[in-house]
Amino acid sequence: MLKFYSLGLVVGVVCLAATTSVWGLQTGVGPTTILKSTTGVLPGSSESTSRKNMVASVHPLATQAGVDAFAKGGNAIDAAIATALTLGVVDNFNSGIGGGCFILIRTAKGEVYAIDGREMAPSAATQDLFQNAKSRFANPSQTGALASGVPGALQAYAQAVAEHGRLGLSASLQKGMEAAENGFPVTDAYAGKLRIAKKAMVQFPGTVKVFFRPDPTTGIVEPYRVGEILKQSDLATTYRMISQKGTDWFYRGAFAELAGQWMKANGGIMTATDFANYKTVNRKPVRSKYRDFEIYGFPPPSSGGVHVAQVLNILEQFKMAEMYQNDPVAFYHVVAEAMKLAFADRAFWLGDPDYVEVPLGLIEKSYAKELASKIKMDSVLTTDHGMPPNAATEFFEGHTTHVAAADSEGNWVALTTTVNTTFGAKYVIPGTGVVMNNQMDDFVAFPGKPNAFGLIGGENNAVASGKRPLSSMSPTIVLQDGKPILTVGAAGGPKIITEVLWAIINHLDLEMPIGKAIAAPRLHHQWAPKQLLLESSFDDEIADQLAAKQHQIKRSRSMGICQGITFDAETGLFTGAYDPRTTGSAAGEQ
């Protein structure tokens, strides 16, 4: 078992990111400084090991909340939820209780559960909501009151700890509450997101109050800068009230009333009744086989579980490890074409299974063989969606961050949570500190028009009252011989699906340690637009040869953020890894 050590920098504090430290932030490798490597792996991939348990996230304070949950006698479910709720404070440009989540849990008893905490469209939502919307915003599905669905993350977190944890929701809220009350140093990533979103955010007084302050020199309102301490007293109060009164305070009490009043005053359609009517859904996980491995993913309204399985089924028709060694250009070409085929199906077939029919045949081996046979080794496909078997009769049962957690009892968690784009709909419900999502943009808000992530959808993902929008979130757990060996997930819109695929392919087929599997340069194809995205670190010679096969190449500095945990039965070690493309940490009890 390889161990990786790196020098970390946390708001001016330098520390060694050894296996016992949670402060494993990368320096020198990030979205603006992705380096090339002769091995095809980004320098500085970071891993941490433990024999007891492990949790990985994008922020050390959140990871520490998970480790503390373990130390208090909690299991992987408690650790994951404590981490997620703390991320909702220190990383709330990505996620929070104003958003939604998918939670995939494999318990010590060997049972696998999928808790759907995806946002729901308000009851007054209609298919032509955004086409007829009278809004002061150019993109009302992305900014302002109409952009938000009813948030489900908090209800899903509460369900997870009540049914599968030990410590309860109040304990899970504690570290996040402290971080909101006492404040935390603004990271480079946080400050950068504030700068990017400033123009939209300053239109909302409640948002300005939380995330901006007068410049001491000029008096002009500016976002918090790197290293400054950001306190969120309103959010601390919200967490405290939930801790004391439970989720009813949020869904049926004061928070719902405040949200409903703000919506009415600001052109929204969401009401307190919509909050009261919100329910999580217990879904049947997507189960598939890939070579000798058992893959569990999240079902619709996630597209991730379906299309991770679909792409792996296509790749199973090829000798991927042998191809990688002998002809890497062919290897990357096949992966890109498999992605394209799956995303074409995504646009046509996927949607909320409580509203539309999603064919189970999408993950059948026979359909994968049919799709694989279409791949031409010398040129790209011009493709539309396929026709999976039994498409009319068989159905699935009915900017983002990821948390991975596992413990020695056999509990494993893959939890992906989001408010959609950076700082969601850009507004905070005044007096609550809660950033609200802009998940309505994940519906087909405008027919034929790409959403914020460039995705074009079909009728199955049209807006409807109470419906859940299609998601790319792909929490995944992998088993071998009936035992969990990998939990992985990612952030990055539609790139989530391909990030998870790369972690699986690199680790299972190419036998890379999980840190290197996550750090390795990626490519991404989502069918529309018709371009192949390559990270800046991707080998130039291979890129040129892919272009010769008619791929339309576009370079990207970075393509999402991934976290994962593996377990080696021979050594008894959990290995957690965070993505060196940003700050992050992985840690467990020692």
> What are the residue numbers of the active site?
400
- Looking up tokens 């402290």 gives 178
**Six token digits for residue 542:** 């291979």
Determine phi and psi for 141, rounding to 5 degrees: -80, -10
- How does DSSP classify residue 470? P
Judged by DSSP in three states, 324 sits in helix
* Helix (H) / strand (E) containing 244: helix 233-245
Q: Which residue from 118, 455, 501, 565 is spatially nearest to 299, judged by alpha carbons? A: 118
Residue 402 one-letter amino acid = H
The total number of residues written for the chain in this structure: 590
- Give the whole-angstrom CA distance, residue 503 versus residue 525: 16
Residue 235 one-letter amino acid = L
**Six token digits for residue 483:** 């035992």
Geometric angle at alpha carbon 113, from 422 and 82, rounded to 5°: 50
- Give the whole-angstrom CA distance, residue 173 versus residue 236: 10
CA distances to 76, 255, 297, 333 from 526, rounded to whole Å, are 33, 38, 19, 14
Within 10 angstroms of residue 73's Cβ, the number of other Cβ atoms is: 10
111: CB partners within 8 A, 6+ apart: none
- Looking up tokens 């377990």 gives 567
By the 8 A CB rule, do 95 and 473 touch? no
330: CB partners within 8 A, 6+ apart: 323, 377
